């Protein structure tokens, strides 16, 4: 099981930050060539990211790179710098349509071939960051076989909608539910937008829990101080794992007796509930929990 609880953005133009990125225990390090890189630094950032990808991958880290949108005209150059052995995935910024996804798929295949990377092995995450993209989210989710996740970009989405981001997050309720539903229907992971108030950990936790309850499996973040709280939210607790093991044992014993449902702790347990318990156990094993 690949973990997507935490995806830490690392500015691609900041050599000193890239150099220490490996010490941060994010599930995925996402080296950024888009939002954090000013236009005059794009070329330099590409060279720094090109060097950082193999170093981090060789240290056992899962590395993604966020590339500029298809509309920007920078995507091919970004991918030429990023794609190489060791790169696990790419995040396409400001995805607007299924055609954007198809276009980046072609560009990825081009770079995989050029850099002796097995075709189709670099996974793709696309960022839903506008009203237009949200309305086409279902089509976008089915536009490439290499898609692994849909990501909600809250800052750009609310800007596009002409509304402000708030601490209680009500302005993202519909977008979160719709992105999570489209992701689930396409068997993808839903990834939530970063929490931008670095010092407000209580707000971060509440925001992550709002995303989790509608189906998000993880969250992008912009500061390493957010890692431990996010991992708590998106990881099963010891109590949840223990309960899942007991439930699954009761279910499997009932299955052995030919029963389709079983009573457990006063509840009726059927197949979907047992599968949910199995997922909790698998996630705990992937994290390394006992």
pLDDT of the residue at 289:
63
pLDDT of the residue at 237:
83
- In this predicted model, what pLDDT tens digit does every residue of 120-153 receive, in sequence order? 999 999 999 999 999 999 999 999 999 999 999 9
Compute mean pLDDT per 10 residues along the chain, 290 residues long, and list them: 94 96 97 96 97 97 98 98 98 98 98 96 98 98 98 98 96 98 97 97 98 97 97 90 87 80 80 85 80
Helix (H) or strand (E) holding 157: helix 154-161
CATH number for the domain whose boundaries are 6-233: 3.20.20.60
* Cα angle: 245, vertex 62, 175; to 5 degrees: 75
pLDDT of the residue at 290:
58
pLDDT of the residue at 130:
98
Closest CA to 87 of 194, 114, 42, 36: 114
CB 53 within 8 A of CB 84: yes
Secondary structure E strands in 113-194: 123-128, 147-152, 189-192
Ranges of CATH 3.20.20.60 domains, the chain? 6-233
């Amino acid at each position: 099981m690949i973990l997507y609880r935490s995806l830490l953005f690392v500015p691609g133009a900041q050599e000193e930050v890239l150099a220490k990125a490996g010490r941060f225990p994010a599930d995925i390090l996402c080296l950024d060539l888009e939002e954090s890189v000013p236009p005059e630094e794009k070329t330099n950032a590409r060279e720094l990211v090109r060097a950082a990808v193999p170093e981090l991958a060789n240290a056992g880290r899962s590395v993604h790179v966020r590339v500029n949108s298809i509309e920007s005209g920078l995507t091919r150059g970004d991918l030429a710098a990023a794609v190489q052995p060791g790169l696990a995935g790419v995040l396409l910024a400001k995805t607007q349509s299924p055609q954007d996804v198809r276009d980046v798929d072609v560009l990825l295949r081009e770079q995989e071939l050029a850099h002796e990377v097995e075709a189709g092995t670099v996974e793709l995450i696309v960022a839903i960051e506008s009203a237009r993209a949200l309305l086409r989210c279902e089509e976008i989710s089915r536009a490439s076989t290499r898609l692994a996740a849909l990501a909600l970009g809250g800052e750009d989405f609310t800007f596009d909608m002409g509304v402000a981001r708030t601490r209680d997050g009500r302005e993202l309720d519909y977008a979160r539910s719709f992105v999570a539903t489209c992701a689930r229907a396409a068997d993808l992971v839903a990834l939530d937008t970063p929490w931008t108030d670095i010092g407000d950990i209580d707000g971060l936790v509440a925001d992550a829990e709002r995303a989790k309850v509608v189906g998000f499996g993880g969250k992008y973040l912009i500061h390493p101080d957010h890692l431990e709280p996010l991992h708590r939210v998106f990881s099963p607790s010891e109590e949840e794992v223990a309960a899942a093991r007991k439930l699954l044992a009761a279910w499997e014993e009932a299955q052995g007796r030919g029963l389709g449902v079983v009573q457990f702790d006063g509840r009726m347990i059927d197949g979907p509930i047992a599968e949910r318990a199995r997922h909790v156990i698998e996630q705990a094993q992937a994290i390394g929990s006992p």
